[in-house]
Amino acid sequence: MITLFHNYVDLHQRKIYPAEIQYDKDKIISIKETKQPCNHFILPGFVDAHIHIESSMLVPSEFARLAVRHGTVATVSDPHEIANVCGIEGVNFMINNAKKVPFKFHFGAPSCVPATAFETSGAIINSDDINDLMAREDIYFLSEMMNYPGVLFQDEEVMRKIDFAKAHGKPVDGHAPGLRGEQAKKYIDAGISTDHECFTKEEALDKLKCGMKILIREGSAAKNFEALIDLLPDYENEMMFCCDDKHPDELLLHHINQHVKRAIAKGIDVFTVLQAACINPVLHYKLPVGLLQVHDAADFIVVNNLQEFEILQTVIDGITVFDNNICHIHSVHEEPINHFQCSEKSLTDFVIPAAEKSHLIRVIEALEGQLITRTQIIQAKIENQELVSDIEQDVLKLVVVNRYSDAVVAKAFIKNFGFTRGAIASTVAHDSHNIICVGVTDQDIQRAVNALVLCKGGISVIDEEAELVMPLSVAGLMSHHKAEEIAAQYAEANTKAKALGSKLAAPFMTLSFMALLVIPQLKLSDKGLFDGEKFEFIDLFCNPS
């Protein structure tokens, strides 16, 4: 039996008092108020209510080694990314690796594999597969239902997936950016319980009033904390914190503890903040995570104070996983799985011939800190009867290459990357994870793409004669190497990408969402330019009016 003396942050009775806390093996045995003065504070650990572990570029066991440093004891994890590459084999890979470390991962069944019919993915998970997954004890929910048009129009396959989740008594996560009013109500009434895609206070309020739980997301690309945090005091039981996507260099620095510190700094009551960070995800998803009550699992953290939240100790199931700035979770060797079939590309694969009638083109406008994009109509730059990048207008060529077979390369243009030379490419390209690349010349693009073909997935930066390649051997999404090593490599790649001229905070993260068709407005899949509002392909060229 282990006895601790700390200031007990009782989230259930909303009190703080010195206490003697005893736990034996993996259970809390007793909590008794004392008169002994205490310096530190003990409270339940933090829970990330929605995250794709794959976006950390780390396998689950390595993700855990960084997360516990920040007081995270559990995640609600959507293995959607690896499922779109490797199917159910990918889901099983994540679950099996996660079980090898003392950390509480809770995986869902990916609802949209492929995410849409307008792109090529590496697998299909149909409604019968979902029914099988929902029956498993190690599957806790139906992951984000991104096909909101399918819900609104009562698509038979979509509704079967939702119905199977309901039949097994498991919640259904949502994904409906910008959906409001009657359409939002219809989506929620179908059984969708959460949404992490709200980017305005008004949108979140619409959904909250219809009974939906709203997740305040602050990730490496999408940052909605400032837009939504003022709703928390009025909806403390209906809101949670999440990162959604967290790249390794940022995960090295902070996780959900950053949400907590920022909310406290805004003057929001500490119990309200911790309700969202600790309690609400556990209750909503029925997670087997302790909330620091007698008979609970011994899952808790010790912090220096309730302003800075410096993590002094993290304990999961009675195992001290972080203490005195040392992580006690060991790295786990895992044989990689992958699905990569395409061959190297020639220079001609990236050429865009000029149109005979119009040189006005639709250009994707990337937005800092957002997954949504806008459409701009711009006069194309033409050289030798071919469309080329125009660095003076900050309009660069964007391509998506099918990684699963040899096919015609999809080509378009994008604004706001700011490169004046070179190219970057990645197989972290939501949601089908084909190769996506943005660059100044076709030669740069070819080199960046072929570097990833040769290593079967990863990220690359091309600058004149130099190149940096970071292989991601697990499905082209994650590395089997140590978290600290990958975080350092990724930080170097991001620095080199910015040195090409980009002012984006996270060029690779922004690039990774430019093929995400379910987020409006204009995106590029391996099959072509796509209008995410009309949900249909659209021509690169505009007809002159």
362-372 pLDDT, tens digit each: 999 999 878 88
Q: Give the domains, in start order, of the chain with CATH numbers.
A: 45-288 (3.20.20.140), 347-537 (no CATH)
The pLDDT value recorded for residue 357 is 72
The pLDDT value recorded for residue 223 is 87
Task: Copy the structure tokens of residue 481.
Answer: 């190497």
The pLDDT value recorded for residue 13 is 96
Query: Residue 405 CB: number of other CB atoms within 10 A?
Result: 11
The pLDDT value recorded for residue 355 is 80
Q: pTM here?
A: 0.93
The pLDDT value recorded for residue 261 is 98
The pLDDT value recorded for residue 106 is 98
Q: DSSP character for 355?
A: P
Q: Are 453 and 433 in contact (CB under 8 A)?
A: no
Extract the residue ranges of the chain whose pLDDT is less than 50.
Answer: none
Distance CA 245, CA 63 (A): 12
The pLDDT value recorded for residue 116 is 87
The pLDDT value recorded for residue 544 is 62
Distance CA 314, CA 295 (A): 18
**Which strand ranges, in their side-by-side order, compose the sheet holding 172-174?**
46-51, 72-77, 104-109, 139-145, 172-174, 192-195, 213-217, 239-242
pLDDT digits (tens, 9 = 90+) for 473-528: 999 999 989 999 999 999 999 999 999 999 898 899 899 999 999 888 999 999 99
- In SS3 terms, 134-203 reads as HCCCCEEEEEEECCHHHHHCCCHHHHHHHHHHHHCCCCEEECCCCCCHHHHHHHHHCCEEEECCCCCHHH
